[in-house]
Amino acid sequence: MAKTEPYILNMGPQHPSTHGVLQVQLELDGERILGAKPVMGYLHRGIEKLMESRTYTQCVPYTDRLDYVSSMNNNLGFCETVEELAGIEVPERAEYIRVIVAELNRIASHLIFIGTLMIDLGAATGMIYAFRDREKILDLFNIICGARMTFHYIRIGGVCADAQPEFIAETEKFLEYVPKMLEEYDHLMTGNEIFYHRLKGTSPLTREDVLRYSMSGPNVRASGVDYDIRKIDSYSIYDRFDFNVPLGTNGDNWDRYQVRFHVHGAAAGDELHCLAGGFHRVLCGQHCLYPAGHQAHSGLFHHQSAGLYDAGSGGRLSDRFHVPSHDPCVFQGAAVPLCRCCDACDE
């Protein structure tokens, strides 16, 4: 009599859908996923150890490369941690610039999410749309700091250089374009039956799962848990802005997509508030000595909250620097095995 048995299929570390190196050992019954074990470490570069032998200002470029799609947010998290430890006050204008560039970077990284989501589900042209719009944001970053990706723009004590008038003018133009852009993606994706059937009901995560696994970011909000560090902890000057936090209901892939999609609108709203503020120029000392102490700080990287923990014993270097989620979602990686009993995509 014919019988079937489950088999183990290795996905990665090189795989077009992993977008980076992640190996997932899938236990499959035909096309149904029974179990998924992630294997990480293929991009473990030892950044925490390297940071122990660099001065605080030299550490900032390393934070760019932690989560390279949202470099500004990483820089911001690190700089805020060190500023809290050392009691450095950031000028108001610099705070506004930081929030502007951090939110622009959030939009850019969520555009990568949309583009790669589309290409993973089979719509290859979708990636072209998303990257076209991402290039507009990278042009803005090019104006403000000269770099396209790993910016090293937000520094300890403020920002690298003041925002130029062209940057402000171009950002305003871009923000007028954002609603049209979102409408286009909405039209392409949200109403699309194929995406709907592929995403709705797949890999649901319940509220309890999300809390048990200490998850954060849009994945948490997709499961209906109202946890947005920008509202709860209000690092930098986020408490001055009024924005909505979109929440999902089922915690499936569809909700995770919707939550990230609607974040765009919220981020753009912040920008408009910021542009009304005033600006200053800031410089920070390279070789200043930082007091001893321990500082933990929480910030919202583009897809998860990541705190930075710094234990310094005084001096120019820190004794121990820890980024809790520096590898692709360490906490959320533990939740990958929960994505079972769902049909694997056919790519």
Partner 1 sequence: MTKYIRKEQIEKLQQQFPGILYDAEQAKPAIYVKPEELLAVLRYAKEQVSFSFDRLSNLTAVDYKDYFEMVYHLFSRRYFTWLTVKVKLENHEAPEIASVTSLWAGANFEEREVYDLMGVNFTDHPDLRRILMPDNYGGHPLRKDFEPLVPKIEGGVLTWQKQNHIS
Partner 2 sequence: MEIVDIVPPMLKDNVIVTSVDALFKWARGNSIWPLSSGLACCSIEMMCAAAARFDLARFGYEVFRACPRQSDLLIVAGTLTWKMTPPLIRLYEEMPEPKYVIAMGSCNIGGGPFADSYSVVKGLDEILPVDVYIPGCPPRPEALIDAMIKLREKIQHPDVAVKVENDD
Binding region for partner 1 (CB under 8 A): 40-41, 44, 46, 48-49, 211-215, 227, 232-234, 239, 294, 296, 298, 305, 307, 309, 311, 319-320, 322, 324, 327, 330-331, 333-335
Q: Which does 319 bind (CB under 5 to 8 A by kind): partner 2, partner 1, none?
A: partner 1
Q: How far is the CB of 246 from partner 1 (least distance, A)?
A: 18
- Closest to partner 1 by CB, 37 vs 197, is 37
Per CB under 8 A, residues contacting partner 2 are 13-16, 19-21, 41-47, 49-50, 53, 61-62, 65, 68-69, 112, 127-128, 131-132, 134-135, 138, 148-150
Q: Which does 14 bind (CB under 5 to 8 A by kind): partner 2, partner 1, none?
A: partner 2
Half-sphere exposure for 206 (CA within 13 Å, toward CB):
3
Q: How far is the CB of 12 from partner 2 (least distance, A)?
A: 8
Q: Which does 141 bind (CB under 5 to 8 A by kind): partner 2, partner 1, none?
A: none
Q: What 3-state class would DSSP assign to 39?
A: strand
Q: How far is the CB of 303 from partner 1 (least distance, A)?
A: 16
- Closest to partner 1 by CB, 274 vs 336, is 336
Q: How far is the CB of 21 from partner 2 (least distance, A)?
A: 6
Q: Note whether 243 and 262 are within 8 A (CB).
A: no
- Closest to partner 1 by CB, 264 vs 326, is 326
Q: Which does 207 bind (CB under 5 to 8 A by kind): partner 2, partner 1, none?
A: none
Q: Note whether 270 and 287 are within 8 A (CB).
A: no
Torsion of CA 192, 194, 197, 203, to 10 degrees: -100
CA distances to 79, 83, 125, 251 from 88, rounded to whole Å, are: 10, 5, 47, 40
- Closest to partner 2 by CB, 125 vs 244, is 125
Q: Which does 32 bind (CB under 5 to 8 A by kind): partner 2, partner 1, none?
A: none
- Closest to partner 2 by CB, 43 vs 194, is 43
- Closest to partner 1 by CB, 132 vs 207, is 207
CA distances to 112, 157, 227 from 317, rounded to whole Å, are: 35, 17, 33
Q: How far is the CB of 262 from partner 2 (least distance, A)?
A: 24
Q: Note whether 102 and 268 are within 8 A (CB).
A: no
How far is Cα 183 from Cα 187, in angstroms, rounded to an integer?
Answer: 6
Which distant-in-sequence residues (6+ apart) come within 8 Å of 96 by Cβ? Answer: 237, 274, 277, 278, 279
Cα angle 150, 328, 145; round to 5:
10
- Closest to partner 2 by CB, 14 vs 234, is 14
Q: Which does 211 bind (CB under 5 to 8 A by kind): partner 1, partner 2, none?
A: partner 1
Please state whether beta strands 305-312 and 7-11 pair in parallel, antiparallel, or not at all (unpaired). unpaired
Torsion of CA 215, 263, 138, 97, to 10 degrees: -90
Q: How far is the CB of 243 from partner 2 (least distance, A)?
A: 27
Q: Which does 334 bind (CB under 5 to 8 A by kind): partner 1, partner 2, none?
A: partner 1
Q: How far is the CB of 69 from partner 2 (least distance, A)?
A: 6
Half-sphere exposure for 202 (CA within 13 Å, toward CB):
16
Which distant-in-sequence residues (6+ apart) come within 8 Å of 329 by Cβ? Answer: 303, 304
Largest CA distance in the chain: 78
The three-state (H, E, C) secondary structure of 102-142, written as one string: HHHHHHHHHHHHHHHHHHHCCCHHHHHHHHHHHHHHHHHHH
- Closest to partner 1 by CB, 280 vs 322, is 322
Q: How far is the CB of 260 from partner 2 (least distance, A)?
A: 17
